[in-house]
Amino acid sequence: MSQDGGAQSTSVGYPLATYRYVRLALVAVVAGLLASITLTAVPQNCWQTSLSAFYFTLSHAVFVGALCATGVCLIVYKGLTRPEDILLNYAGFLAFVVALVPTHSPVHNPKDPTSSCGLWLPTNDDATAAVGNNITAVLAGAAVGIAAYLVVRATAGPPPRSDLDAEAGPADDERPRGAAAKVANLILEWIQVIAPLATAATLAAGLLWFLFDRESFLADAHSAAAIAMFSGVIAVVVLYACYSVQHFCHCRARGRFAVAYITIAVAMTVTLIVVGVLHVHLRTWNHGILALEIALIVEFAAFWLLQTLDSWNGTYRPVVPPPGLRPPAARTD
């Protein structure tokens, strides 16, 4: 690290500097993965029918490495609230499953016999064919990460307001009002109950599946883990949109972030529904899953980069209501 970089890290504090690098690392990882699959597909005009199918191409190492790196970033990143932290850990753990349990080989894809083009896996006799692709992807990811750092550093706002106490909450006359705030409040109430139960149940079921039905696990665990991982990611985006709506009611300067978070949350949900419907009804469109996965990854990267810009100089504490199952008399008003 240069002297200037070291001085800057010291001035902002090492914890905050580390927090920034973890966030930007995930942006670089996503950029590197997209660069690798583009370099694999474009020269041969050979796009696999899913992002996961690039496991069997020159992007093999980048695919596995990027998902494992994503898992690490999501797990080590501390969410603003317990439900968010649980969902991030859940999605991060499942990223490892998606990386390490391959999908079905494109060779056996009955929907698109042409998808078997461009296939490659490392062997003892041919272990270096992907080096050019992989190193170029690393360089592309690093370039995007550095560019993101420079842009965010130049445009980040001042540190967030600290006048909202997340534990005590706002006074009665300051509580969020309006339809959006009420919906956000309801989601924040019930996510505290649903997130721990749903994630624990899903992971427990996955463990039992792995232990007692290995053949079925090998055949279908990749797809199940990918769907569950994307669901956890979307839940995090929705959750952060709710934080932003609640905080917007108290801090009008955050209005642009509230709108942006909500827009991305809606876009990810609509993408999941629309592309899924198109994939079912347009039988000749064999790349629906690929389009869905790339769209969701790009949208999540946009959310992550926006959140990095929003929290570059420190995070604010969201106003979180009591859990939904608590009796009214026990709630703190």
pTM: 0.83
Q: Can you tell me the mean pLDDT for 250-271?
A: 77
Name the residue ranges covered by the structural domains of the chain: 9-153+172-330
- pLDDT tens, 51-68? 888 999 999 999 999 999
- pLDDT tens, 240-259? 888 877 766 555 556 677 78
Residue 202, number of CB atoms within 10 A of its CB: 17
For residues 199 and 88, is the Cβ–Cβ distance under 8 A?
no
**What are the CA-CA distances from residue 120 to residues 10, 47, 66, 260 (Å)?**
46, 14, 18, 40
Averaging pLDDT over each range in 26-40, 226-240, 270-284, which range is the top one? 26-40
Torsion of CA 62, 66, 67, 72, to 10 degrees: 150
- pLDDT tens, 90-137? 999 999 999 999 988 877 665 555 556 788 888 888 889 999 999 999
The residue with greater pLDDT, 214 or 167, is 214
